[in-house]
Structure 1
Amino acid sequence: MKTKIGYGVILGAMISLVGALTLTMYQGIPLSNSHEQATISNIHKGDDNWIKGCFLLFTGVILFSSWMLIQAKINVSYPCPYSSTVILSVFGTLQCALLSFIKTRHVEDWILRDKLTIITVIIAGVIGQGMCTVGISWCIKQRGPVFTAAFSPVTLMSATVFDFVILHRMIYVGSVIGSVVVVIGLYMFLWSKSKQIDECKIVKLPTNMVEKEKEEEDNTNVNKLGRVLVIPMTP
């Protein structure tokens, strides 16, 4: 907070957050035609669950952020970082199974018959949970939790592009504006973060030079001592 680069990091993160909120909450004028306009009238049918949904989403974000901070500590001392992903997946599976059992206790509802459902479950488990969690853990180990969390708004951009290109849904002005703002904030954050890393290396450089000089001096003393020891004794 006391440097311009620190202000750049915080400002970039805040701009990305504003872009993500704009992308999510503001629609504006539609920029494309879609055959799904008949479903627009059904959007507000689930208004009764907005408060519950927002509370659960907020709780999920807090827990995921806490997991990133804890993962940064685990990567320092835990010898097998990828096995922590397995442990996470196992406990997540147990929790999902418990919630599903509370939701329905009919065995028929647990059987997957649709091919699309089976493919979706496999992709969500292998890629969405396994590979993505390993990738996030690796990024946290390399750059830290704040750097990794800065890319979270990109998920909303990817979902918007996927809806427009694959599902052929309407795209709105708010989606475009929010995506542009996210990119600007993310670029500012990454640029400031890279400058911050370079400054940290420069600050640590004198200490490393002192240690290197001390090591060279110790090696010189050892070599001199070795030469003294090998001098032949004359009668």
Structure 2
Amino acid sequence: MSCYVLVVYAHVFGTLATALFALIFERQNKSKISVPVLRNVFFLGFLGGVLGRTLNYLGLEYTSAAFGTAMSNLIPCITFIIAVLCRMEKFDIGKLGTQTKTGGTLVGFTGATLMTLYKGIAVISMHIEGFHRTAATSKPSIHRDWIKGSLVLLVSYFALSAFYILQTITIEMFPAPITLTLLTCLSGTLLTGIMAAILDHKASFWKLSWNITLLAHVYSGVVIYLQTLVAKTRGPVFMTAFRPLATIVAAIMGLFILGEAIYLGRYF
């Protein structure tokens, strides 16, 4: 499926799912939707949908799922930097917490540079002849541009980090996480729908089937709400601190499901 269409359906399913929950759990909510909230919702849809998710899917086409999640360890680093600039996090170099976060940021940027410039030997590989013969003919296996993909992913992670910061700011202005998720998904649906209609206007690109692509849309919509809930309770830096776990999960699943080798330079 086209990545432009995929991100539209993800927001559509997110809108439909959260609309029901918002009606059940937050219909008594008295928070008013002000103009600043609507402005933030627009930018949440733009940062999270148009820039964040779309560029993330494009970057995965040039690289791989394992590489994309390994490089996503930059998100906590970028989020911390933006949070400090926005004065959401206190930067006191004399405190152990600040030293740890600063050290983690430097290590994250160094690791991302290493992953981009050095691939290394295959440490673990699944030698499945039938799978590799089929995968060798697929477009992603042939046309992979790691440098280009890394740059696209980097822009995506900057956008997602800004999204998490703005999401936390907005939830303080409008303390209704389900309704905010609904508005964010609706904004993302409209913006990404316009983008997809321009770039992928063929009707065949929009066909849905009862397979894993349908599950991907539902999953993406649910994740948006969970991120909003965690951002409200613990903040954006805490939420993105768990990103490194995705590297381990994606590497294992990529090895056994996608047949992707684990390279030294990606996980050293």
TM-score by length of 2: 0.53
The answer (yes or no) to whether the contact 1:85–1:134 under 8 Å persists in 2 is yes
Displacement after TM superposition at 1:87 (Å): 1.2
- Secondary structure in structure 2 of the residue aligned to 1:166: helix
Deviations 1:83-105 (CA, angstroms, capped at 9, x unpaired): 11111111222223222221233
- Equivalent positions of 1:156-235 (< 5 A) are 156-177=247-268
Q: Which runs of 5+ in 1 are unaligned?
A: 178-235
- 1:78 CA drift (Å): 1.0
Task: Give a deviation string over 1:55-114, Cα, whole Å, max 9, x none.
Answer: 5433322221111111222222313122111111112222232222212333233223x5
Is it true that 1:78 corresponds to 2:174 in the alignment?
yes
Measured against aligned partners, the alpha-carbon deviations of 1:125-180 in whole angstroms (never above 9, x if no partner) come to 2222x221222122222221112222223323322111112233322333442xxx
Which residue number in structure 2 is paired with residue 3 of structure 1?
A: 95
Q: Which moved more, 1:1-10 or 1:13-22?
A: 13-22
Q: Give 1:7 deviation, angstroms.
A: 0.6
Q: Report which of the two structures shows the higher radius of gyration computed on alpha carbons.
A: 1
One-letter amino acid of the structure 2 residue matched with residue 82 of structure 1: I
Aligned amino acid, residue 80 of structure 1: A
Q: Which has the higher contact order (CA 8 A, sep 6+)?
A: 1
Structure with the larger helix share? 1
Q: C-alpha distance in 2, partners of 1:104/1:29? A: 36
Q: Secondary structure at the match of 2:258?
A: coil
Alignment-mate amino acid for residue 106 of structure 2: M
- Which residue is equivalent to 2:232? 141
Q: Percent identity?
A: 24
Gaps of 5+ in 2: 1-92
Tell me the TM-score normalized by structure 1.
0.59
- 1:26 paired residue among 119, 122, 134: 119
Cα distance in 2 for residues equivalent to 1:41 and 1:103: 22
Over aligned residue pairs, what C-alpha RMSD do you find? 3.1
